[in-house]
Structure 1
């Protein structure tokens, strides 16, 4: 099965059992603390997420698959290149995984092909493929099937591949032998916890999504909390900081698939230009991309926050003009974030995040690299 997986672009195939009962208390506690934020679907499905045989009746095993997503041409020292992007306030920073084709489409299609390949060998069998498309306890299944261990940032880490990869699953009605899990190798390192711009990693393997920049820029639909805006820096879609700083990602693999090659205009683009995208241009430029899922309103909201942070570093007439052009935007959310960006001072009631910036406290722009 591993060979079939490699032929389809997967880096590793594993198998997990379906008894995830030991993970249920942790899931319930995470939900009870509200760490899922507005991701109501996390709570709506309850413990079905930890019970594969309830989600797909008849499931006896889960096949897990890892797919590396760094573009084929990614150079050595890519982490330094990505850190440097965060030191250019007037450019937008887009998470690495989102610069190519939408991984949901790529993974689901290839998982389905893997299922078909298995059927060719053993005959028809019940199976269903998932990639962030159902209540699946993905990281738990990956860890149990030997894909890696749960890092302190909650992502799955591999000694051979770091964490720069997607995970997918095939629920099957076959009793397959489970893969051996691997031991954890984070040791005393807490680089991911310390680097998080918003302090979203509240403990080892404990993430408060409500503070996570990836959640705020992608999943969160409303206004971004005032105290978190200055901490976002120029990150307009996702955040890679906890992965960039992880020592294991020096082993991150390159994808053999052209799907994840970087599209022009989605990384390092000037914020002033991004603010000028009409909805039609946004849809055209993000066609087939995961970014399209957030919609034009949320996109402008994110870029406006980054623009406001850039103006607080250094005034820029072009950026200010791009924001001014949106002050009468039909969306109240866009207008409010644009007004905040142009204000350059705490709104009525104060802005604790901006106060910290003014006093030389923590900001969303990392300190200069030595």
Structure 2
């Protein structure tokens, strides 16, 4: 199974049992505090997230898989390279995982091939594959199956691979021996908590998604809270800061797959360039990309905020780009454009 997994591009697979009852109190508390924000599907599924046998009746074990996603040509000083983008406020920052092909498609296809390969060896069995696509406690299952430990930023960390990887699962009706979990190695380090621009990591292992830039730019559909907009800087889709600051990511591995190589047009481009994309151009350029799912309206909303932050920092060219969308049909876009224009030094409008 391990050899087949490596052939398919997975760096490691493991096995977890289906009794996640000890994770239920923490999940319930997180939901009760409203930390899931507008991700109502998390509350709607309730404890089914922690009960694999309820989600997929007949499930006895869960095969977990890990796939590295750093592009093949990533330089050794990649963390420094990525942080440096914040020093160029006119440049649009897209989270590293989203610069290539949609990971949902890549993992789902390969998880299915893994299941088919196992069936070819042992015979047919019941299974269902997931990758961030159902009420699954991915990080919990991954940590229980030896893929790593839960970092203070809530992501899974591995001593030999950091956290720059995707997770996937195959729920199976086979009784498989579980993998051994690994011990945690964060120690007293708080780099991820300290670096978070919006202080979304409210305590070790506790994330308030409502303050997280990844949530705000991807999952959140409405207006971005004005007090958080200046903190987003030039990040327009996702945020990697907690991972960039993590010392363990000096061991992050490059992907063997070309799927995660950055697409032309999503890296090193100016905010003004991306803000000028028509809806047709947006759909064309993001075809097969995870970015496409937020739609053109939210794309413009996010970039308007970044342009406002650039304008506040003295980038006069941002004004012209923003003015081009002042009459946009979407009230959501118009509101964020108006806010952004008020960020100009000397503007009569509020700066925050």
Query: What SS does structure 2 have at the residue aligned with 1:326?
Result: coil
TM-score (norm 1): 0.93
Query: What SS does structure 2 have at the residue aligned with 1:86?
Result: helix
Q: Give the Cα separation in 1 of the matches to 2:11 and 2:301.
A: 36
The answer for unaligned runs of 5 or more in structure 2 is none
Deviation at 1:340, TM superposition (A): 0.6
Q: Give the Cα separation in 2 of the matches to 1:13 and 1:275.
A: 41
Aligned counterpart, 1:40 = 40
Q: Deviations over 1:153-192 (max 9, x none)?
A: 0000000100000000000000000000000000000000
Aligned counterpart, 2:329 = 330
Aligned counterpart, 2:136 = 136
Aligned counterpart, 2:191 = 191
Deviation at 1:320, TM superposition (A): 1.1
Deviation at 1:315, TM superposition (A): 3.4
Asked if 1 retains the 8 angstrom alpha-carbon contact of 2:129 and 2:169, the reply is yes
Q: How does 1:111-122 map to 2 (within 5 A)?
A: 111-122=111-122
Aligned counterpart, 2:178 = 178
Q: Deviations over 1:324-347 (max 9, x none)?
A: 01000000000000011111279x
Deviation at 1:75, TM superposition (A): 1.1
Q: Give the Cα separation in 2 of the matches to 1:127 and 1:292.
A: 29
Aligned counterpart, 2:342 = 343
Deviation at 1:268, TM superposition (A): 1.7
Query: What SS does structure 2 have at the residue aligned with 1:255?
Result: coil
Q: Deviations over 1:93-151 (max 9, x none)?
A: 00000000000000000000000000000000000000011100100000000000000
Q: Give the Cα separation in 2 of the matches to 1:138 and 1:36.
A: 15
Aligned counterpart, 2:23 = 23
State the 4+ residue runs in structure 1 displaced beyond 2 angstroms: none
Query: What SS does structure 2 have at the residue aligned with 1:262?
Result: coil
Q: Give the Cα separation in 1 of the matches to 2:238 and 2:116.
A: 33
Residue 237 of structure 1 pairs with residue 266 of structure 2: no
Aligned counterpart, 1:367 = none
TM-score (norm 2): 0.98
Asked if 1 retains the 8 angstrom alpha-carbon contact of 2:162 and 2:248, the reply is yes
Q: Deviations over 1:267-317 (max 9, x none)?
A: 221111111100000001100000000000000000000000000001323
The answer for unaligned runs of 5 or more in structure 1 is 356-370
Residue 201 of structure 1 pairs with residue 189 of structure 2: no
Aligned counterpart, 1:88 = 88
Task: Give the root-mean-square deviation of aligned CA atoms.
Answer: 1.2
The count of residues paired between Structure 1 and Structure 2 equals 350
Q: Give the Cα separation in 1 of the matches to 2:240 and 2:149.
A: 19
Query: What SS does structure 1 have at the residue aligned with 2:118?
Result: helix
Residue 214 of structure 1 pairs with residue 214 of structure 2: yes
